[in-house]
Chain A
Amino acid sequence: MILEKDVVVVGAGPAGLAAAIEAAKAGAAVLLVDLNLKAGGQLFKQIHKFFGSRAHYSGTRGYDIGKKLVKEATESQVEIWLQSTAVGVFPGNKVSIERILQNGGKKLYTVHGKTIILATGASENVVRFKGWTRPGVMGAGAAQTMVNVDHVKPGQKIVMLGSGNVGLIVSYQLMQAGCDVVALVEAAPKIGGYAVHAAKIRRAGVPIFTKHTIVEALGDAEGKVSGAVIAEVDEKFQPIPGTEQTIPCDTITLAAGLKPVVELTRLMNCASAFEPVLGGFIPMHNQDMETSVQGIFVAGDATGVEEASVALEEGRIAGVAAAQALGLLSQEDAESQKQFYWNRVNSLRSGPFGEKRLAAKQDVLQCYQEQIHTPQPEVMIGGLASGAD
């Protein structure tokens, strides 16, 4: 049996929740699916107060934003399926969903969505060095999940690799949980993230090694991490022999950036663009967050890695646009709502930290305008979807 929905949203992080809420508020029957045990995506592990404008929850801790969104979604009659993985999308806007049932069994559902919003988020990049597969080497996001969601420390002495906002914030949060961050290692000559985040961990005594990298994870008798060998790097980021030093630790966390999760948009043959600033290949989209394929919308990190506050606003735009496509909102209402959220997105992309992302996104919008112009009905896999990578 095929279930019928106006909107199927894949991913219940900030973008997916916001999209589901907007579409449901306009009167759409919305199904929101997520593979995790809980809705909210990364918001529940973000225990710091958000930056941004007061209008978009700044000064509020991530988990409180998560709680508000989940409540709003429930009140707006969004149907939420958890432990439910979208394993495929097929021509005719059908989504295959593998759902874990109460009794631990699995059931495969096929849901037809008149529109589909893909808010699948991003995954962490890995960095390879000798010993990188040892137990104790993990993603910074994984360590953040352990301390902030499960309240278990991944280890006691941590070496963090990467000084972007994730590396800085997770270092701080590991200390808040009672771990010691014994070194933060960054290959670039400068700290990547916000200086205020760096300042917090410097005040707590964390040494920051810029122009350094990890060359090896040492192991104990069982093979678990027992130390990190770090070394200075040259201008080409190659380790300089003779500069190695060993830092005893039981955990190495990797914060080397994120990349958009795009398997589902690829399955739909959505045209994509390569934007390194946004994390790599991303589905192209227009001002409605609609991809090259009619009725398939995207939002959040899946369409370029930015901050949760941006994902939220993009989600709202996608939700409004999907409702408009379904005829649930007048053009006038929809346009004014979208413009309101676009203004917020643009203000979040202002300033020296946002301008590169703003330029990359404008590039995506412009390429879409030139190469695709209007969304086309989907083409079978192997077909001639113009602009597809």
Chain B
Amino acid sequence: MALIDTGYLTYRELMEKQKLPTEERFLQGPVAVVECVQEIPCNPCEAACPFGAIHVGEPITNLPVLSAEKCKGCGACVAKCPGMAIFVIDKSYSQTKGSVSFPYEYYPLPEVGSTVTVVNRQGEAVGNGKVLRVQNPVSFDHTPVVTVEVDLKLINEVRSMERRHS
């Protein structure tokens, strides 16, 4: 597995290891993409979902399985995953743009409406994105979730933004 050689997943690897939502489901609106591919003992995502869309079960080393038809794309799991490995993708946003929601635990947080440099799984800058939302309620326990608008063609690659210095 390239992941443990390099530290990042390729989209192809992800598709082999995780059952991703269908293209049809992606076009219906926001949905979670679970990028958890190692059998580690962990299950907070299962309880985080208010719609029962994530199943881990026993043993807790099972990979989480998303029922895309139950998922509403609310993002409750994004902040709860200790591995920060869940994202919400919306491909229905417009003809050319989609949105990506990711956990971002660095100071300073971006301003809503500002343009940030978005990065892929390797931390490489791949373009710009407009910040649509920054959610940081108490229930997220200091794991803010940032949503950026990006070109649809980048949507499977963008997973964070460039870290800035305070």
The answer to whether A195 and B38 touch (CB under 8 A), given A53-B60, A58-B82, A350-B60, is: yes
A377 to B165, CA, bound (A): 60
Give the contact stretch, choosing among A28-36, A203-211, A286-294.
Answer: A203-211
A141 to B63, CA, bound (A): 30
Give the contact stretch, choosing among A107-115, A273-281, A329-337, A351-359.
Answer: A351-359
How many chain A residues sit at the interface, stated as a range, is 35 or more
- Which among A199, A200, A206 is the interface contact of B9 at CB below 8 angstroms? A199
A184 to B143, CA, bound (A): 24
**B40:A351 contact, CB within 8 angstroms:** yes
**A204:B160 contact, CB within 8 angstroms:** yes
A113 to B149, CA, bound (A): 63
Give the contact stretch, choosing among B25-33, B42-50, B90-98.
Answer: B42-50
A69 to B161, CA, bound (A): 36
Contacts of B122 in A (CB 8 A): 202-203
Interface centre among B4, B46, B80, B160 (most CB of A within 10 A): B4
Q: Distance (Å) between the CB of B2 and the closest chain A CB?
A: 10
Is A376 interfacial (CB-CB < 8 Å)?
no
Q: Name B's A-contacting residues (CB within 8 A).
A: 3-9, 35-44, 46-48, 59-61, 80, 82-85, 105-107, 119, 121-124, 141-143, 159-160, 162-163, 165-166
A205 to B80, CA, bound (A): 23
Q: Distance (Å) between the CB of A22 and the closest chain B CB?
A: 22
Q: Distance (Å) between the CB of B129 and the closest chain A CB?
A: 14
13 residue pairs of the A-B complex, CB under 8 angstroms, read A48-B82, A51-B82, A58-B82, A59-B44, A59-B80, A60-B141, A191-B6, A196-B38, A199-B3, A200-B83, A201-B7, A202-B121, A208-B6
Contacts of A205 in B (CB 8 A): 119, 123-124, 162-163
